[in-house]
Structure 1
Amino acid sequence: MKVVRFHAPGDVRIEDAPEPTPGRGEVKLRVRNCSTCGTDVKISRFGHHHIVPPRVMGHEIAGEVVEVGAAVDGWSPGDRVQVIAAIPCGQCGECQQGRRTVCPNQESMGYHYDGGFAEYLVVPSKVLAVDGLNRIPDGVSYAEASVAEPLACVLNGQNLAQVGAGDDVVVIGSGPIGCLHVRLARARGARNVVLVDLNQDRLSQAAALVAPDATICAADTDPVDAVLKFTNGRGADVIITAAASGAAQEQAVQMAARQGRISLFGGLPKDRPVIGLDANLVHYRELTLVGANGSSPAHNAEALRLIASGEVPVADLITHRLPLDGAIDAFELVATGEAIKVTIEP
């Protein structure tokens, strides 16, 4: 079979590999879709401390069960499934308290285990042990199901920021994650959703799909002033920084309404993780700053439900579909911002 393997930073190869065989407690899939994200680009260029090469990449996975190992119940060949990316241990104190997104023993598909940029993969027993293999609802395509993983991360972020009915929400970053944030905020009853980006072309492309109530090109306009004007000086109830930008995080605090919530959703570069924070704004406006780290198995299941119900459409966000041997081209499409969502169809 063909796979896309990471060997070293800047060295990703499309190679032949033997088909895997499921062991005890494992399930073998025929991968139907594995979508790409910015993390794949970063791994291809810089590696990752959890990846011991060579490693098959890809963590936004949907496929068809073709074989089950010993001691596997409830799954059969032909079942259509989506696979979680982040695998909590299910046993530690955090997991036992229901905080599976911050499990200190977390492992990941495409990092600790071979991922979905392959014709076949084996789902580790640890995934099944934490209910991380989800049935794809009828009417949901494999491509749509592969977007459940990033939507699950978005769902976790909005839960933590308590996005709800009547909120004025600002999303900074108009990539696929930003688009999903706009759609989920809308599904949760937000009063207004504003989309912000530095790149006008990317902003326009995203806005044409997800139809925010307003757009702000931060290259041309001070986004803080623009948000304050849009909200008649009050500021936004929720600001989500769906971009790896310290400046965006600083601006988010400045544009927040009283008792506003700021989601520091996008992680910052490892060499520039520190921002300037006006602590008095946080103090006097009673602001809440929250992080967001991935998703849990439950978030993935809920994301599939939201897609199936039509509450959060995702099909139109997939702007490019490429075969497995186009995966490296897909990374470039993601890096340049030419695409919204790129999916690989092995």
Structure 2
Amino acid sequence: MKSFAAFTADQSIREVESETPSPAGKEVLLRITHSGVCHSDIHARQGHFDLGSRGKMSLAARGMGESIVMGHEIVGEVVAVGGDVVDKKVGDRLLVYPWLGCGECTRCLDGRENACTRSRTIGGQLPGGYADHVLVPNEKYLLDINGLDPSWAATLACSGVTSFSAINKVLPLPPEAPIAVIGAGGVGLSAIAILTAMGHRNTIALDLNTANLELAAAAGATHTFLMDSESSRATVVDALGFSPDAIIDFVNNSQTSTLGFDWIVKGGIMVQVGLFGGELVVPTTLLAMKMITLRGSFVGNLGELTELVELAKSGQLPQAPVSFGPLSEDGVRNALDALEARLVSGRVVLVANN
């Protein structure tokens, strides 16, 4: 099989040939048809995550090697199944849930594999979707997407479930309570669309890109704010005239997290999602006096993805904008370069030439 791996030493993308795996037990082998591109893959290609004054967290600390077959937004067609597979059959087109844990700890047994401390993410620790095939360890991680556009369905496995899980940490709130979404890229746009589908009527989108804000308004944002490097609580309040009850920060760098902490209403909820890096210095007295709830949110669990797919099938969820490229060595490289250069609005999905 062919894979398009990232080599962290020089940040190159190279085609790699290997033997196509044969599934056993509950394993399922898919021929990949669609593979979404995520901003976190940029950090993976770089080989580290930015921890602000604490330096960098290497991929090795997360159980990844010097080369990684990334790609965790995967739709594919079943080509072979292990002997213990019951519900999936050859020819099925399915969405992959990639956020696997050890399967044995209390978090995994509680259905929260994304919170496992021994991650086995498909597209991270396990080979992912920048390839022509992927081996899924258990049929339970495969979801039926019948009736959905497979290119859009692929994005539900990361941008969709990440935003859905973050929203679940904010709601319930009254429909008119202001919720700010910082970062209107692919994940932020998904959040705005999901909030709209869930009946929320007061969403504020903040972004550095005018085109992203236009897409946010089309997805249901009721207010937009064009940020720059000088944006602060004062400039946002001056433009909008209010503070939000909740903030979901899909950037989560030093500037946006500080802006959010200063801007949030007393008793508000901050959910930090993005992996852009930096740090938030919190005055402990203000944390107590403002009674802020500060939470981290990382992707989502299998149950949440299942709920989201059903919401998408209901027709209530607006389809996020998707652009396309080839699932190839050049396609992976070009998509990551464009994403890093902030030349992409919405999501990018690579399509196999099968």
Q: Same fold (TM over 0.5)?
A: yes
Residue 335 to residue 87, structure 1, CA distance change in 2 (3 Å)? same
Q: Note if contact 1:196-1:223 (Cα within 8 Å) is conserved in structure 2.
A: no
Aligned equivalents of 1:2, 1:97: Cα separation in 2: 36
Q: 1:336 aligns with which of 334, 338, 341?
A: 341
Aligned equivalents of 1:91, 1:46: Cα separation in 2: 28
Q: How does 1:1-346 map to 2 (within 5 A)?
A: 1-9=1-9, 10-46=11-47, 48-49=59-60, 50-125=63-138, 128=139, 131-136=140-145, 138-150=146-158, 151-162=160-171, 164=173, 165-197=175-207, 199-207=208-216, 209-219=218-228, 222-229=231-238, 232-233=241-242, 235-269=243-277, 272=278, 274-314=279-319, 316-325=320-329, 326-339=331-344, 340-346=346-352
Give the secondary structure class of the aligned counterpart of 2:267.
Answer: strand
Cα deviation, residue 89, structure 1: 2.9
Aligned equivalents of 1:204, 1:154: Cα separation in 2: 17
Residue 220 to residue 297, structure 1, CA distance change in 2 (3 Å)? closer
Cα deviation, residue 154, structure 1: 1.2
Q: TM-score, normalised by structure 1?
A: 0.89
Aligned equivalents of 2:235, 2:317: Cα separation in 1: 27
Cα deviation, residue 167, structure 1: 2.2
Percent identical: 23
Q: Note if contact 2:205-2:213 (Cα within 8 Å) is conserved in structure 1.
A: no
Q: Note if contact 2:196-2:219 (Cα within 8 Å) is conserved in structure 1.
A: no
Two-structure CA RMSD over aligned residues (Å) = 2.2
Aligned equivalents of 2:12, 2:246: Cα separation in 1: 40
Aligned equivalents of 1:194, 1:301: Cα separation in 2: 27
Give the secondary structure class of the aligned counterpart of 1:81.
Answer: strand
Give the unaligned 5+ runs of structure 2.
49-58
Q: Note if contact 2:73-2:96 (Cα within 8 Å) is conserved in structure 1.
A: yes
Give the unaligned 5+ runs of structure 1.
none
Q: TM-score, normalised by structure 2?
A: 0.87
Aligned equivalents of 2:18, 2:217: Cα separation in 1: 41
Cα deviation, residue 102, structure 1: 1.5
Aligned equivalents of 1:179, 1:155: Cα separation in 2: 11
Aligned equivalents of 1:162, 1:338: Cα separation in 2: 32
